[in-house]
């Protein structure tokens, strides 16, 4: 295998991105050379998604695109492969290697052992419902990223009526604390200044451990054992945000004051039909409690427009709740039925009405974002520098409370954290000025070495 070119692409969530990056590192260790998915390669790897029918279609298209290049091997894995391997074989005539979630970690070894090119499709897809262990996907770097994603959990127990994830990922499984800490230290030692704690259903971390643990316990362990980076949590259900977590975040500046809530609706009947374990009153209570603990926090939310049981009155209740709450932005998803889910069997709302409701929510989001960004004017924010726009002569960075800021600065700041005073909002973009005395990126990395762990 040494000297062969490997190209990979990823659809879907942060967890998929972590797994692809880890597999690529394993391939490199075996002597393969990573190249862009747009380039000619000897082996192509597609990590698929199945959250929507569109994601499944895009996964098939990527497999076809890779096959047209006539490589030695095309391998696909991920959620769509897990639930749709037979569909892939039926729709794509050429031989591919399809690997399920249970054997995803083995892909570099499997490729090494295979006789290529394949003469017929190879399906290595097991039953994810039997999985009980969260397999670690160890890695050091995310090429092209200045934030590292820390995968701490896999699987989901929710079985929401519109979602295939539990069938594609299996039951909720937690990465043991010692594995999480070891991976976080690898990222810290590579110089990452922000680590995003993520999972397929992050709020379920610890429920399967003995004794059971909670997300606040994990965050406390990371703060104590991996000093240097700042920490950000990915998406959570409102019912998973409790007082211990809020107290811990309020007491530690190293934890970013940012929440992304998986709301989906603000109407009780729709939430019940979705199978969500909370109601609108809890959403309001949790958002208010977040703001009581962390007044400067950014609160984002996922919301679905046009779920099959959503009446006009139900939609208005959702829209009114979102207008009323101190939310900073929305991720709006027009409902599209996913075959194989209970919601796909319900009477569907006409697409034009779904699109209209989505536009209303998107307008609410724009107004919320403008209001939240306006509140940042005059504040000094700690900004992770992500990239430099040479054409404009400005850096772009992300603040602790999830605000994008543009500012001028000396060369070489990418990947470091600097203090920026926000001065103005122009056309939905924030501009600021960097504080006169700033640590450079080299000093920032030295600081990480000073804060060695005692545990």
Last residue of a domain, one of 344, 371, 398: 371
String of b and e for 111-124 (b: at least 16 CB within 10 Å)?
beeeeeebeebbeb
Which among 211, 179, 158, 191 is positioned nearest to 342, based on CA atoms? 158
**Does the CA dihedral 23-26-30-32 come out positive or negative?**
positive
Considering the domain architecture, whether residues 189 and 98 belong to the same structural domain is answered as no
3-state secondary structure 265-313: CCCHHHHHHHCCCCCHHHHHHHHHHHHHHCCCCEEEEEEEECCCCCCHH
Position 387 scores a pLDDT of 96
Tens-digit pLDDT string for the chain (455 aa): 788 999 999 999 999 999 999 999 999 999 999 999 999 999 999 999 999 999 999 999 999 999 999 999 999 999 999 999 999 999 998 999 999 999 999 999 999 999 889 999 999 999 999 999 999 999 999 888 999 999 999 999 999 999 999 999 999 999 999 999 999 999 999 999 999 999 999 999 999 999 999 999 999 999 999 999 999 999 999 999 999 999 999 999 999 999 999 999 999 999 999 999 999 999 999 999 999 999 999 999 999 999 999 999 999 999 999 999 999 999 999 999 999 999 999 999 999 999 999 999 999 999 999 999 999 999 999 999 999 999 999 999 999 999 999 999 999 999 999 999 999 999 999 999 998 866 444 333 333 332 333 33
Considering the domain architecture, whether residues 424 and 319 belong to the same structural domain is answered as no
Last residue of a domain, one of 371, 406, 433: 371
pTM metric for this prediction: 0.93
451 in any annotated domain: no
Considering the domain architecture, whether residues 56 and 193 belong to the same structural domain is answered as no
453 in any annotated domain: no
Both tokens of 142, joined, read 């995310």
Q: Strand, helix or coil at 401? A: coil
342 in any annotated domain: yes
293 in any annotated domain: yes
Considering the domain architecture, whether residues 231 and 344 belong to the same structural domain is answered as yes
434 in any annotated domain: yes
**Distance in angstroms (rounded) separating the CA atoms of residues 343 and 336:** 10
Considering the domain architecture, whether residues 74 and 36 belong to the same structural domain is answered as yes
The angle, 0 to 180 degrees and rounded to 10, between the axes of the packed helices 243-251 and 215-225 is: 20
Considering the domain architecture, whether residues 10 and 57 belong to the same structural domain is answered as yes
28 in any annotated domain: yes
Considering the domain architecture, whether residues 353 and 388 belong to the same structural domain is answered as no
Position 451 scores a pLDDT of 33
Position 143 scores a pLDDT of 86
Position 438 scores a pLDDT of 64
Considering the domain architecture, whether residues 240 and 289 belong to the same structural domain is answered as yes
* Gap between the terminal Cα atoms of the chain: 40
**Distance in angstroms (rounded) separating the CA atoms of residues 236 and 218:** 15
Position 453 scores a pLDDT of 38
Question: Alpha carbon of 342 to those of 200, 268, 275: distances in Å?
Answer: 20, 18, 10
CATH of the domain at 113: 3.40.50.12160
Considering the domain architecture, whether residues 164 and 282 belong to the same structural domain is answered as yes
Owning domain of residue 352: 148-371
- As for how many domains the chain has, the answer is 3
Considering the domain architecture, whether residues 225 and 323 belong to the same structural domain is answered as yes
Considering the domain architecture, whether residues 113 and 225 belong to the same structural domain is answered as no
CATH of the domain at 409: 2.40.50.140
392 in any annotated domain: yes
Burial of 313 (0-12, 13-18, 19+ CB in 10 A): exposed
**Distance in angstroms (rounded) separating the CA atoms of residues 157 and 201:** 8
**Distance in angstroms (rounded) separating the CA atoms of residues 365 and 359:** 10
Position 445 scores a pLDDT of 38
Last residue of a domain, one of 326, 345, 371: 371
Considering the domain architecture, whether residues 116 and 243 belong to the same structural domain is answered as no
139 in any annotated domain: no
Position 437 scores a pLDDT of 65
């Amino acid at each position: 295998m040494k000297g062969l070119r490997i190209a990979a692409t990823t659809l879907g969530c942060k967890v998929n991105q972590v797994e692809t990056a880890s597999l690529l590192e394993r391939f490199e260790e075996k002597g393969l050379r990573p190249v862009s998915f747009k380039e000619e390669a000897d082996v192509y790897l597609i990590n698929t998604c199945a959250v929507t029918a569109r994601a499944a279609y895009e996964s098939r298209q990527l497999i076809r695109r890779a096959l047209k290049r006539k490589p030695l091997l095309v391998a696909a894995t991920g959620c769509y492969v897990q639930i749709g391997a037979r569909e892939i074989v039926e729709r794509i005539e050429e031989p591919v290697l399809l690997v399920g979630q249970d054997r995803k970690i083995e892909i570099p070894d499997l490729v090494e052992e295979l006789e290529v090119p394949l003469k017929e499709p190879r399906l290595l897809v097991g039953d994810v419902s039997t999985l009980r262990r969260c397999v670690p996907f160890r890695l050091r770097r995310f090429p092209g990223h200045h934030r590292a994603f820390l995968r701490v959990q896999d699987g989901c127990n929710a079985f929401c009526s519109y979602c295939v994830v539990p069938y594609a990922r299996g039951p909720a499984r937690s990465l043991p604390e010692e594995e999480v800490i070891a991976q976080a230290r690898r990222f810290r030692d590579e110089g990452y200044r922000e680590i995003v704690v993520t999972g397929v259903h992050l709020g379920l971390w610890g429920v399967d451990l003995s004794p059971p643990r909670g997300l606040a316990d994990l965050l406390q362990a990371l703060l104590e054992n991996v000093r240097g980076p700042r920490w950000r949590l990915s998406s959570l259900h409102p019912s998973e945000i409790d007082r211990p977590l809020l107290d811990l975040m309020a007491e530690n500046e190293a934890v970013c004051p940012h929440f992304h809530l998986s709301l989906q609706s603000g109407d009780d009947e729709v939430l019940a039909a979705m199978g969500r374990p909370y109601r609108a009153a809890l959403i309001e209570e949790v958002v208010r409690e977040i703001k009581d603990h962390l007044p400067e926090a950014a609160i984002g939310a996922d919301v679905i427009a046009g779920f099959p049981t959503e009446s006009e009155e139900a939609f208005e209740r959702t829209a009114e709740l979102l207008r009323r709450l101190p939310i900073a932005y929305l991720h709006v998803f027009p409902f599209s039925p996913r075959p194989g889910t209970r919601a796909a069997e319900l009477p569907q709302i006409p697409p034009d009405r779904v699109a209209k409701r989505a536009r209303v929510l998107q307008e609410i989001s724009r107004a919320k974002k403008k209001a939240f960004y306006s509140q940042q004017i005059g504040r000094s924010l700690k900004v992770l520098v992500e990239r430099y726009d040479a054409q404009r002569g400005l850096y772009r960075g992300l603040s602790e409370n999830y605000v994008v800021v543009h500012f001028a600065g000396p060369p070489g700041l990418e990947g470091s954290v600097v203090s920026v005073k926000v001065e103005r909002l122009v056309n939905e973009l924030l501009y600021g000025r960097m504080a006169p005395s700033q640590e450079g990126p080299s000093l920032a990395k030295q600081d990480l070495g000073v804060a060695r762990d005692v545990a």
